Structure 1
Amino acid sequence: MKRYISRISTIEIPVSNLNESIHWYTSLLGLEVTHRDDTTAVLTFDSLGVPGIFLCETKSENRLQFLNTNNDIKHSVIDFYTNDLNGFYNFLIEQGVQVGTYNMITEFDTGGFGFEDPDGNLLGACNAIQRGQE
């Protein structure tokens, strides 16, 4: 079978206030704005092969998250990679961001935690590198 898809281009995130969200994503996550109009913006990490973030202002109250009915844990749809998980966790707390429990699997020295953007989209941060990402 021919392979038509080679990577993720953008991740689309619903927001209620585009200006506030642009400020939050650029100042806290280090993204840069590459396009903007009245109701949408494209942000990038400016790294080869890394998907962009497409912010879409909407009145819809649907947010990014799902409940794992096997263990009743809410999951993020997006996990951002950081090589300094503890430092990023503490930085977000200092900035007043709502963060979840810091989870580490000491056997593999990997872990992560959830955090919310201003609209309640559940995001994640982890230090796990998947095969083919390096």
Structure 2
Amino acid sequence: MGKTIWRVGTTYLPVQNVEESTIWYETKLGAIVTYKDTEKAIINFANQSFFLVKASENTTANFIDGAGNTHFSLTFEVDGVDALEDLHRQFNKNDIKVGAIEDRGHPGKNFIFYDPSGNIFDVWSELSPDFKNRYTI
């Protein structure tokens, strides 16, 4: 097969209020806003573009897993447990709703956090080896 998908370019996130969400991502996560209107915003952070798209009430990127639990659809990575713990403290200080730091039985540790629209995201303490190699971290 000569063709391949190289990367995820954009992730679309449903939000209830584009303006509020854009400000939250910019101030809480350090996102760079490159476009915004009443229906969507384009923000960049974590080496990716995200479209914040105005969605109907109670729509999130979350899903229900096989055990009936609400599950996140996206995991962000940091470089090590110390970085994870520092980010967790920073999120708490910045009034971001976060879960406890967890040991899930695989390498590293994780915690979840929420955006103002109820989207749940995961943070993992292990940067992928491919990312480290490509960016010489």
Gap regions ≥5 residues in structure 1 = none
Aligned residue pair count: 129
Deviation digits for residues 45-102 of structure 1 (CA, Å, limit 9, x no counterpart): 2x7xx221110012242212223325x5532111122231111111212222221121
Alignment partner of 1:43 is 2:40: no
- Taking only aligned residues, the RMSD between alpha carbons, in angstroms, comes to 2.1
Q: Report the AA paired with residue 79 of structure 1.
A: T
Output the CA distance in 1 between the equivalents of 2:26 and 2:127: 23
Q: Report the AA paired with residue 74 of structure 2.
A: I
Contact map agreement 2:101 2:110 (CA 8 A) in 1: yes
Q: What does residue 77 of structure 1 align with?
A: 73
Q: What does residue 124 of structure 1 align with?
A: 122
Q: What does residue 26 of structure 2 align with?
A: 26
Percent identity between the two aligned chains: 25
Gap regions ≥5 residues in structure 2 = 133-137
Output the CA distance in 2 between the equivalents of 1:106 and 1:59: 36
Q: CA deviation at 1:119?
A: 0.8
Output the CA distance in 2 between the equivalents of 1:61 and 1:3: 38
**Bigger share in strand:** 1
Output the CA distance in 1 between the equivalents of 2:16 and 2:44: 20
Of 113-122 and 83-92, deviating more is 83-92
Output the CA distance in 2 between the equivalents of 1:75 and 1:107: 18
Q: What does residue 52 of structure 2 align with?
A: 55
Output the CA distance in 2 between the equivalents of 1:129 and 1:82: 6
**Bigger share in helix:** 2
Contact map agreement 2:15 2:59 (CA 8 A) in 1: no
Q: CA deviation at 1:106?
A: 8.6
Of 72-81 and 121-130, deviating more is 72-81
Contact map agreement 2:16 2:55 (CA 8 A) in 1: yes
Q: TM-score, normalised by structure 2?
A: 0.81
